[in-house]
């Protein structure tokens, strides 16, 4: 008897996040573009960048659409008092590098975590 083992095609995890824009007809949870301009906020203590692409999440979360945690689906099925359902939130974020003045008016260069939404999902 001869047994032959062959590797089949590897399953690749899909990037399930949706990207939309203001003209998109999509109602499900999506990542939308948003440029933050610090000068518009009057934040003159930020030296650079003056603006950056932050993005944001918005949209409806059906029971199993892009849910990060199976627990969310089960809580909705059990329907305990006060549950609001899954929310469209960032599931992956990245930092930006900034140059800014601290409270002592010293110039600081640092990596600020979780400033850019890379992917959205329901949780």
Instruction: Please tell me the predicted confidence (pLDDT) of residue 96.
Output: 98
Name the pTM for this structure.
Answer: 0.74
Residue 70, pLDDT above cutoff 90: no
How do the domains of the chain map onto residue ranges? 30-122
Q: Which of 41-45, 64-68, 114-118 has the lowest mean pLDDT?
A: 64-68
Closest Cα partner for 88 from 57, 63, 118? 57
Displacement of CA 50 from its chain's centroid (Å) = 22
Give the pLDDT confidence score for residue 37 in this predicted structure. Answer: 98
CATH for 30-122, options being 2.120.10.70, 2.40.50.140, 2.40.128.130, 2.10.90.10: 2.10.90.10
pLDDT band at 6 (very low <50, low <70, confident <90, very high): low
Burial of 68-104, coded b for 16+ CB within 10 Å and e otherwise, reads eeeebeeebeeeeeeeeebebebbeeeebebebeeee
Alpha-carbon span 88 to 60, nearest angstrom? 7
For 12-54, what is each residue's pLDDT tens digit? 444 468 999 999 999 999 999 999 999 999 999 999 999 999 9
pLDDT at 69 over 70: no
């Amino acid at each position: 008897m001869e047994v032959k083992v062959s590797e089949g095609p590897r399953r690749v995890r899909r990037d399930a996040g949706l990207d939309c824009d203001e003209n998109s007809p999509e109602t499900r949870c999506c990542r939308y573009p948003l440029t933050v301009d610090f000068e518009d906020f009057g934040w003159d203590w930020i030296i650079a960048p003056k603006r950056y692409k932050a993005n944001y999440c918005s949209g409806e979360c059906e029971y199993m659409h892009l849910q990060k945690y199976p627990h969310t689906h089960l809580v909705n099925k059990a329907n305990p008092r006060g549950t609001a359902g899954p929310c469209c939130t960032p599931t992956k974020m990245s930092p930006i590098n900034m140059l800014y003045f601290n409270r002592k008016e010293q110039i600081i260069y640092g990596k600020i975590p979780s400033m850019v939404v890379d992917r959205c999902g329901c949780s």
